[in-house]
């Protein structure tokens, strides 16, 4: 089941939405629904991970200094490789 609702966009965003709809041969509604779906899924995932981290911290489950060093080294290697 689907439901309709109204949103307000400024003229510039509406023009961008219309252009994207035309370029992709999709409707405004389809693009808006997909954008909202993506936003909600991403943010729900992020909030779940934050809650999970808070629960772990509340239980006293923290990374060791060695684990943090390994993560830092891996991130630095990725940064160096990207340069």
Domain parsing of the chain, residue ranges: 51-82
Each residue of 39-60: pLDDT tens digit?
Answer: 999 999 999 999 999 999 999 9
The closest of 28, 23, 33, 35 to 3, measured between CA atoms, is 33
| Spatial distance between the Cα atoms of 25 and 31, rounded to a whole number of angstroms | 10
Q: How confident is the model at residue 72 (pLDDT cuts 50, 70, 90)?
A: very high
Counting every residue, how long is the chain? 83
pTM for the structure as a whole: 0.67
Each residue of 58-69: pLDDT tens digit?
Answer: 999 989 999 999
């Amino acid at each position: 089941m689907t439901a309709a609702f109204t949103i307000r966009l400024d003229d510039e965003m509406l023009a961008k939405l219309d252009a994207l709809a035309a370029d992709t041969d999709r409707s405004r509604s389809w693009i808006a629904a997909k954008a909202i779906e993506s936003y909600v899924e991403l943010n729900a995932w992020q909030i779940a991970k934050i809650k999970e981290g808070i629960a772990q911290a509340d239980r006293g489950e923290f990374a060791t200094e060695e684990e943090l060093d390994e993560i830092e080294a891996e991130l630095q290697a990725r940064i160096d490789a990207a340069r």
